[in-house]
Structure 1
Amino acid sequence: MTTDAMLPAGTVLLSDSSAFGCQGGVHFYVPATGLRGFFALGGDLVGATGIALEADGDVLVTKDRHHPGGGTLLRLSRSHGTTKQTVVSSDGNLVSPMAVAVESDGGILVADIAAKGAGAVIRIHPVTGKQTVLSVGDATGDPLFPCGLCVEADGGIVTVEQAGPVPEPPAPQVVRIDPVSGARTVISSGGSLRSPVDVVIDHDGNIMVVDANAFEGFVGGVIKVDPVSGKQTTVSSGGGFDTPAAIAIEADGTLLVTDNKALTREPTVFRVDPVTGEQRVLAMGPPFTYLSGVRVVPAH
């Protein structure tokens, strides 16, 4: 039985790097009913970072090597109320994977902020776990350091990149990667971008970036980036945000943004109106500990 047979469409899945006594886990929250709980807990999930869903409903989670074990990509499949964890791929090029996405043909993409010394986007075969480096930065001039990634409708890969640790680092930027050649094209750079950490494509093809400290007072927010011109438009900033960490999109286009220091300094999931920027709390507080990724179960 697949994930979406166990959980209804619209269910919010949240990776948590240190849930329940630092075991790590994946929470579920059903907005329609308010039901919440653990989809998976413990095992290899300590240090969980990014999260994605495969076409059959299985859940993919990346794990940072700074926690026990190495950089790892896990598959979580659930049946009869029990979640099974399987290692898809580990070690090799995986050092500090931060985000994961799935291509239309089922290929898995991982953004690793430390792979190859300057960060890389790695393609992983969903069955064999074979790793292929698709795109890698240059620590001396064109660092990659990807923190988030997503896939456009035409297969283009979009990443958000941090400034690199060089004497005069380039500005943070949004980059498109060719899925065949790995060639990189800068879509947008600088402007409001300070610490972009995650990215999603909205229903109109716009690029929605969550930045941990983009605005006055170093509070974070959501920035819309035109996929052609690179023009940046502020969607939402300040308000309940402190240091937003991850972003997803619901079926009606509403944005979901996680923030681990919001409001009462508790991990919080906000709903953000993509037009007005209005922020509303969807869920907050325990058992959330450190929310590192968010995805929504789609309708099929």
Structure 2
Amino acid sequence: MAAEDHLPAGTILLSDARAFGCAGAVFRVDPETGEQRTLAVAGDLQGATGIALEADGGVLVSKDRMFPGTGVLLRLRAHTGQQAEVTSDGRFASPGGLAVEADGRILIADLFSGGFGAVLRVDPDTGEQTVLSPGEGGGEPPVRPVKLCTVPDGSILVVEQGLLGGEDLTSRVVRIDPVAGSRTTVTSGGELRSPVGVAVDGHGGILVADTNAFGGSGGVIRVDPATGAQTTVASGGAFAGPRAVAVEADGSLLVLDNEALSGAGTLFRVDPTTGEQHVLSSGGDFRFLSGVTVVPHPG
């Protein structure tokens, strides 16, 4: 893509599975005012799940096949919202969280791929799908990958849960080797109940959005990447079920919650030190926010 296709640094992008009469959409949100603008609507966006950015400014969106059609990975032009399919069907069953590796390859957490879920890798040019790390299965219910993110050292962090929305003491954060696909548990139990979002802050701390932590209201948990120790970043307040988290350039956290404020899809900005919650954007055309990412600053 040409340089003019890059969105302004700091722009917030949200995927929404059900906006505009369940057509699905991708929204641009102004980081200063919270103004909502529609980048793309309908097409294959019904059931949109994850969202991520490529280095050249392309916007990647995954779509769950539980909605009409098949599981799809889309690429959108940053300014026009024009949709193009990268890949579909194949190993996709319920593609969710997205991330992009340093070399441009695309990672997808799929809840049901292969039966027990898997982390898939997609070639950004050919759309070829490969299994990087299959789900382990064996448990009852099996613990499945929900969302993921990359770490500067190249490793991959994945949040996994078994009951998919219920209070689940088997929930965990795992680290996946990008070459071998081997899994190592970083943390499990503790406050984790339904982890559905994961990001890494500028200090290497792992941030987890959990819809059922802290007695059911949900919140954001920070995990020490070396010890797995969990500490509370934010809970209670206006939260009712946080489901995605991203980090802005200044370290502030962006958190999505579809149950907050009487059920209006809400984008919160959270102070990473105090946990103070600020409503940046809510209601409007939001219906079921599913993913959040931020356009990075150059360099």
| TM-score of the superposed pair, with normalisation by structure 2 | 0.94
User: Distance in 2 between the 1:158 and 1:177 partners?
Assistant: 6
Kept after mapping to 1: 8 A contact 2:63/2:95: yes
Q: Equivalent residue for 1:59?
A: 59
Deviations 1:108-150 (A, max 9, x none): 0000011111110000000000001010123224944111100
1:130 alignment partner, one of 115, 128, 131:
128
Distance change (3 Å), C-alpha of 1:28 and 1:173 = same
Query: Shift in Å at residue 269 of structure 1?
Result: 0.5
Query: Shift in Å at residue 33 of structure 1?
Result: 4.3
Distance change (3 Å), C-alpha of 1:261 and 1:32 = same
Q: Equivalent residue for 1:252?
A: 250
Deviations 1:88-110 (A, max 9, x none): 11111111011100000001000
Q: Which moved more, 1:137-146 or 1:101-110?
A: 137-146
Kept after mapping to 2: 8 A contact 1:2/1:77: no
Cα RMSD over matched residues?
1.7
SS of the residue corresponding to residue 212 of structure 2 reads strand
Identity %: 57
SS of the residue corresponding to residue 60 of structure 2 reads strand
Kept after mapping to 2: 8 A contact 1:136/1:144: no
Q: Equivalent residue for 2:116?
A: 118
Q: Equivalent residue for 1:42?
A: 42
Distance change (3 Å), C-alpha of 1:6 and 1:106 = closer
User: Distance in 1 between the 2:28 and 2:158 partners?
Assistant: 26
Kept after mapping to 2: 8 A contact 1:120/1:144: no
Segments of structure 1 that go 5 or more residues without pairing to the other structure are none
1:263 alignment partner, one of 243, 258, 261:
261
2:277 alignment partner, one of 271, 276, 279:
279
SS of the residue corresponding to residue 93 of structure 1 reads coil
1:93 alignment partner, one of 79, 85, 91:
91
> Superposed, which structure 2 residues align to 1:1-300 within 5 Å?
5=5, 7-79=7-79, 82-141=80-139, 143-163=142-162, 171-216=170-215, 218-300=216-298
Distance change (3 Å), C-alpha of 1:219 and 1:164 = closer
Deviations 1:33-56 (A, max 9, x none): 443211111111000000000000
User: Distance in 1 between the 2:228 and 2:4 partners?
Assistant: 35
SS of the residue corresponding to residue 45 of structure 2 reads coil
| TM-score of the superposed pair, with normalisation by structure 1 | 0.94
SS of the residue corresponding to residue 274 of structure 2 reads coil
SS of the residue corresponding to residue 227 of structure 1 reads coil
User: Distance in 2 between the 1:96 and 1:255 partners?
Assistant: 27
Query: Shift in Å at residue 7 of structure 1?
Result: 3.0
Query: Shift in Å at residue 265 of structure 1?
Result: 2.0
Q: Which moved more, 1:120-129 or 1:131-140?
A: 131-140
Segments of structure 2 that go 5 or more residues without pairing to the other structure are none
How many correspondences in the alignment? 294
User: Distance in 1 between the 2:211 and 2:286 partners?
Assistant: 19
Distance change (3 Å), C-alpha of 1:163 and 1:34 = closer
- What code does the residue aligned with 2:108 have? V
Distance change (3 Å), C-alpha of 1:233 and 1:49 = same
